[in-house]
Amino acid sequence: MKVLVAVKRVVDYNVKVRVKSDGSGVDIANVKMSMNPFDEIAVEEAVRLKEKGVVTEVVAVSCGDAKCQETLRTAMAIGADRGILVETTEELQPLAVAKLLKALVDKEQPQLIILGKQAIDDDANQTGQMLAALGDLPQATFASTVEVSGDKVNVTREVDGGLETISLSLPAVITTDLRLNEPRYVTLPNIMKAKKKQLDTVKPEDLGVDVKSRLKTLKVSEPPKRGAGIKVPDVATLVEKLKNEAKVI
């Protein structure tokens, strides 16, 4: 069984992002970048399936500029067998990424496609669902448990009311949630081994995909500063302030 895992290069989750002075976007100059945490969970799950003997090959895919090779090398250090970079300098939106992944799915013919449920930069939570729709594939989002059995995969997913377990026929698309696993620490020997693994580069034109933007960002701004909290002497004062000042009751 072959698994395709999509990984995205984003601003590291420990970094406090800054908005550009002209409000056109987030300033990523001289900022630490890393793999999207949800995608890291997706790679870890694919590697664990391989270690169980269920999966024979794990292919990591990233879409973006040449710097995304670093993210793919990290995925290969975790345990992916090879990487594919769809290289473009265009700003990629979820639909464009889903189309690129669909073209690679048609080419590679994986039995399972695993993605993080969302990227922490745009928080769109759309790519996995769009890929499933474009490929006419069954999907399971927000997975907290994944069990492959024959030509089926059972996924326990988190819903508002608790947990839901569904069974999908392969090939299928799965998006990962935080509770699925804890990604392993990447060791130096594995980082060195990853440098020798195969990394192929293709262009969107090679895949016959138009990645032109369909949406335009008008303005990006920081959230308003939160006011300082206050102490109230009694419940009556609290109720009065909630009613007359905050107007929430």
Q: Where are the domains of the chain?
A: 2-222
- Whether 102 and 131 have beta carbons less than 8 Å apart is answered as yes
What pLDDT does 192 receive? 93
Residue-by-residue DSSP string for 30-59: T--EEE-HHHHHHHHHHHHHHHTTS-SEEE
Helix residue ranges, H only, 151-234: 188-194
Which amino acid belongs to residue 39? D
Q: Which residues of 217-229 are buried (b: 16+ CB within 10 A; e: fewer)?
A: eeeeeeeeeeeee
- Per-residue pLDDT, 171: 94
CA separation for the pair 100, 62 (Å, rounded): 10
Q: What is the pLDDT of residue 117?
A: 93
Task: Give me the sign of the Cα torsion angle 30, 193, 43, 207.
Answer: positive
118 near 13, Cβ under 8 Å?
no
Share of the chain above pLDDT 70, in %: 100
Average pLDDT for 72-80: 95
How confident is the model at residue 49, as a pLDDT? 95
What is the rounded average pLDDT of the residues 77-88?
Answer: 95
Query: pTM value?
Result: 0.85
Output the pLDDT for position 155: 95
Q: What pLDDT sits at residue 139?
A: 95
Would you call 72 helix, strand, or coil by DSSP?
Answer: helix
Q: What is the per-residue pLDDT for 107? A: 94
- The tens digit of pLDDT for each residue in 165-224 reads 999 999 999 999 999 999 999 999 999 999 999 999 999 999 999 998 888 888 888 888
CA-wise closest residue to 40 among 114, 98, 101, 106: 114
Q: Which CATH class is domain 2-222?
A: alpha beta
